[in-house]
Amino acid sequence: MIVAIDGPAGSGKSTVARAMASREGLTYLDTGAMYRAVTDAALIRGIDVTNSAAVSDLANRIEISLENGPEGPIVIVDGADRTKAIRTPEVDENVSAVAAIPEVRSAMVELQRASSKNADVVAEGRDIGTVVFPEAEVKIYLTADPSARARRRAVQRHGGDTAKDLSAVADSAEAAAIEAELIARDKADSTRKTAPLKPAEDAVHIDSTGLTVDEVCDQISALISKARA
């Protein structure tokens, strides 16, 4: 069983995918973390993320692995824990450029497919149902209003989680800046030539703006039950 969850940044893909993994006994595959790991590796080495050749070479040389942790996947790059480092604003600002490089995507897709062998997985990203796992039994395209997505990301940057604390407050100026970043990233991700962000033709669209994580998961669980029947 493969459950593919695609959608723009901040739509709740990671939170929902982790919850679905726990609920349905699936292995959670955070594909976005892989692109973030490459971006982080490039930044700490002083590599210009627009230098496709250099970034591609790096993506093929570093070793990326995802390990289970008490609070979610632990991202290991060349033996070092980079879980927190890949979630910085600097990585946010540069990951789209890295993810747009065809050779990087090829390397990451190979890693993602290898990670799903001999396991039932729930994978989230931007091209899971269209490129990585077009044969997935369940495909979801998860969206949310840009302002809601920005608030979630702003709270997340300060260690909060709107999925656990609905009353969490984000700084309005920071949220506005993040919203602008998200809109720009949406455009970059959806217009890139290689594996652009778009829903698979057979994906079920879910807008998470006014829904709790459990309500989104209930909808996905119903689809999984139908696929298993």
Enumerate residue ranges in the chain where pLDDT < 70.
160-169
Break the chain down into helix, strand, coil percent, rounded to 5: 50, 15, 35
Report d(CA 28, CA 134) in Å as an integer. 17
Measured CA to CA in angstroms, residue 136 lies from 61, 122, 127, 210 at distances of 29, 9, 12, 27
- What pLDDT was estimated at residue 21? 93
- What pLDDT was estimated at residue 163? 59
Taking the complete model, does pTM exceed 0.75, yes or no?
A: yes
At 80, is the secondary structure helix, strand, or coil?
Answer: strand
Q: Which residue has the tokens 């996905």?
A: 220
Which residues are CB-contacts of 122 (< 8 A; sequence separation ≥ 6)? 2, 3, 5, 17, 20, 21, 24, 26, 27, 28, 29
CA–CA–CA angle 125, 46, 154 (5° rounding)? 45
- What pLDDT was estimated at residue 167? 61
| Domains defined for the chain, CATH in brackets | 1-26+120-229 (3.40.50.300), 30-118 (3.40.50.300)
